[in-house]
């Protein structure tokens, strides 16, 4: 069996605020193999971006990993020093950040920003680094790369800036690419081109990809398996086909029902999940979705459900008491035990 390339185990991330410490990611566990793509989906504030930033160890001064481990190529990233992490960031692990319009420094040219990264991680002369940067820009489909490398970011469209971000992320041939909302604010044509580019690069270099999105269409097209997050927890995990064909958690079902379809009755109101995501400072005692769930019972209000495996598919896991009551199964984690 192919070995896991990235293993995140019971990750808990907290932030210090003026109202005290809040946990934004709670007991998150997943695995990723080389060449595999995992999608993380959920509403804004569910913890998906914080999960990806935790892998990069970019939580800022107020963020901290409270518990858990992040095993990458046999190294626990939570135990490494900042100097050791700098050797990994941009080299073995790269990230495409959420906002292409603001991710590039406006006072430096595209070339200056790319050459800084290449100089840091690759043993090249200035002329070699420039030629390589131009080659990478061409690889991601940027026309007139020889001229655009000397331009400032404000002269490029959002789609072009996103391509530059992808070129920078792939310059050092990372074995793991993290893409946080890589198609946000891009029109559908550019979005399709960006996704096709990422798929081609995965095929050519066997790069593992972690893609974070609230767009289920993007997840369906890109991911091999999916984590659905709600209020800092994984509420459902499955391969992409199982998740879209047989969603089990009420929250996942709600997300699926809220997707507009071409055949939708124009006179009928689109489905929406009532209520809002709970405040991080005031998480409910039981299931975090219970106040928005049409199936909630007294047990849901008072007891937090573990992540339960589906009996005939142990790679499909759901955090819901309804599953426990319907199937009366023994809870297990993805391999052997309960992840509470």
Between CA 268 and CA 166 the distance in angstroms is 40
Burial 287-310 (b: 16+ CB within 10 A, else e): bbbbebbeebeeebeeebbbbbbb
Between CA 294 and CA 44 the distance in angstroms is 21
- In order, the DSSP letters of 211-237 are EEES-HHHHHHH-SEEEEEETTEEEEE
Between CA 328 and CA 73 the distance in angstroms is 38
**Ramachandran angles phi, psi of 121, nearest 5°:** -115, -15
pLDDT in tens, 271-312: 888 888 888 888 888 999 999 999 999 999 999 999 999 888
Contact between residue 122 and residue 172 where contact means Cβ atoms under 8 Å apart: yes
Indicate the pLDDT class of residue 326, thresholds 50, 70 and 90. low
Q: Judge whether residue 253 has pLDDT over 90.
A: yes
Residues facing residue 213 across a β-bridge: 41
Between CA 189 and CA 93 the distance in angstroms is 28
**When comparing pLDDT for 188 and 229, which is higher?**
229
pLDDT in tens, 186-209: 778 878 888 888 888 888 888 999
Contacting residues for 58 by C-beta, under 8 A, at least 6 apart: 89, 95
How many residues in the chain?
A: 340
Contacting residues for 107 by C-beta, under 8 A, at least 6 apart: 152
Cα atoms in the 13 Å half-sphere on the side-chain side of 9:
16
SS3 131: helix
Between CA 160 and CA 180 the distance in angstroms is 17
């Amino acid at each position: 069996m192919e070995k896991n390339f990235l293993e995140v185990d019971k990750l808990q991330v907290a932030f210090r605020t003026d109202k005290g410490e809040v946990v934004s990611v709670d007991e998150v566990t997943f695995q990723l193999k080389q060449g595999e793509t995992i999608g993380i989906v959920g509403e804004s504030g569910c913890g998906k971006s914080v999960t990806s930033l935790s892998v990069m160890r970019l939580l800022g001064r107020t963020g901290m990993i409270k518990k858990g481990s992040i095993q990458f190529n046999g190294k626990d990233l939570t135990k490494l020093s900042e100097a050791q992490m700098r050797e990994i960031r941009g080299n073995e692990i790269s990230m495409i950040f959420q906002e292409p319009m603001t991710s590039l420094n406006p006072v430096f040219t595209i070339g200056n920003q790319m050459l800084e990264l290449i100089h840091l991680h690759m043993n090249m002369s200035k002329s070699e680094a420039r030629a390589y940067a131009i080659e990478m820009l061409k690889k991601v489909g940027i026309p007139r790369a020889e001229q655009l490398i000397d331009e400032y970011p404000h002269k490029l469209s959002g789609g072009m800036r996103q391509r530059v971000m992808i070129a920078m992320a792939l310059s050092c041939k990372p074995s793991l690419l993290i893409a946080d909302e890589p198609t946000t604010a891009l029109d559908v044509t550019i979005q399709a081109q960006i996704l096709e580019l990422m798929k081609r690069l995965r095929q050519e270099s066997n790069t593992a990809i972690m893609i974070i999105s609230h767009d289920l269409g993007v997840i369906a097209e890109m991911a091999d398996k999916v984590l659905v997050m709600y209020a800092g927890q994984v509420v459902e995990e499955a391969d992409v086909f199982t998740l879209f064909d047989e969603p089990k958690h009420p929250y996942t079902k709600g997300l699926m029902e809220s997707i507009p379809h071409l055949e939708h009755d124009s006179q009928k109101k689109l489905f929406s999940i009532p209520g809002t995501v709970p405040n991080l400072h005031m998480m409910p005692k039981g299931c975090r979705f219970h106040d928005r769930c049409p199936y909630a019972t007294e047990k849901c209000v008072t007891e937090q459900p573990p992540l339960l495996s589906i009996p005939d598919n142990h790679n499909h896991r759901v955090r819901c008491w309804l599953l426990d009551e319907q199937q009366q199964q023994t809870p297990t984690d993805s391999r052997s035990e309960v992840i509470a």
